[in-house]
Structure 1
């Protein structure tokens, strides 16, 4: 938008019933919900009546809306928040929250206690609205979830979800990161990169590449190679290459293959510099379970850390139950299932069930293949 262009919507004009929205894409949401949903009262007619408080089509008539209002009120606030987030994102205003800071000054220490302290100590612009916070955390949840687990100032410790095995495993990675820092003045040393394998990558593979630079800025002396692996690992629009050097520190690579088709290209794995991330993979879904089982077996055999996120508690519970059943006695817990400090703060609504909400990377947990000690008994 040009400097003199006028925003389509002003900050005090972000609430609109979906069917009356000035944004075509939001009007289409009303059509989709009406075509694929049904009134929760009669369970037969399409939900075409829009709640005056949240703007979503929720019931077939005002009569059924009023009859079911006590139930709807439980989610009405979420729906209104999402409605206004969507209008703000398409308002045409200047998004100052996306003016990301560059390198971290040496004299400033980042604080990973929560989003507020992280954004402040990294020097992000002051965020004047909840909508801005929702937008920026939805983008940054992926690199910050990775960084918050690897960083020595991680919010996860032995009092908060981290296990003894987890401390040992992360210490290996942090030792490598520390060596990079200690030897950063040596011009004759070339460091092997920290390799982050994002397996089953989808939306996170399509983020603007500079978003992942925020991970590198947390570790200013360490090179990173990020691999997006999976059939849906598509580069962002405008990037036709499967390899991209974002900076001297950060290399991105996209591989539209199943992990077992690709991993021979990057073996052997090293627990001191390799780590796996699975962002909301849906391990517990019946149709995905058989596909994920051999992939997880390979990752578990590597004995490198594997961190997994989930978008709500039921999703996490299904994943954990599947892992414990399919891979029992082969792994140790590194991070017990817990709420992710750097989850997205923007709520997402299931358009097929408006009572179901989620947040990207809401929960996180970590595992690693068991270490087996070899004992020589002799004779």
Structure 2
């Protein structure tokens, strides 16, 4: 029997193909959620399946006590995509990648004046382990029953406030360049660049949590490229493995020594082989221009939807294929999500008032068109 920790929709899926899922009754759904931004290449991708089958027949696990060739290959690929000079640690989830970032920041801070404090934004979300919850700024993620929370984390409303409150104990600042769980909220580029400049001057690490907005989700491999900044530490997960559990923490500072950190399952043969293939496919999607065209088409459809329904929608928000629509009436949000499910469309909610869209990055024209047909139908039904 399962623990009662998920509020699940009353539907279960049995197979998928691209951006389409089928439930056990045979009904099809257009997936504009892609497993909360995980299935960047869609469902049941033939190339991914081939890599999984080949690696499963060859070797699955030896542990990190020994060399793992596909892990080293993936590390080199990610470092090169970041411009070179980054060291990688692989784990299984976004929270674990952020836990790694915490330890990196704490060790670096300790060796540079015994600094340990990590600052984040109040509207942030960084994971569900106790430490990453403590680093998450939203009050709803700090219920008393999970306390006491670890010390050494502070959060502020804005980047300006963060800068004002930097002190001799600040080891690092962590930000999501596009906040995901707190509403699809891109941070101001000028303010982020100013923060990066000041942190560099003060020898305080800048960490960008790109668990959701990374891996081409916003149109580039890392959203930090769109912001023209070079973070000291970057964390990834979600779209990196297209469904196999893998995350990564990349740092351009050589901080860890053997024994400082580890993971039994992190960076195994299967997941790193799949992730290397996924990145190669996404690189091709980007270089061919197809990704940019899909982004433009998706944004255009969302803008049209907002304009057509200005009575219920305030504006479109987001970057790339990490998009949202702000709803004027918060109570209407749940209605649209529910009616979309009835109409065979999967969408998400983010924060208190935002519909969230995270479709596969290789979404076809046909899937995109059908998805918006169903979304319009759902909105009309929700209005009644």
**Largest Rg, 1 or 2:** 1
TM-score normalized by structure 2? 0.29
TM-score normalized by structure 1? 0.29
Greater RCO between the two (CA within 8 Å, min separation 6)?
2
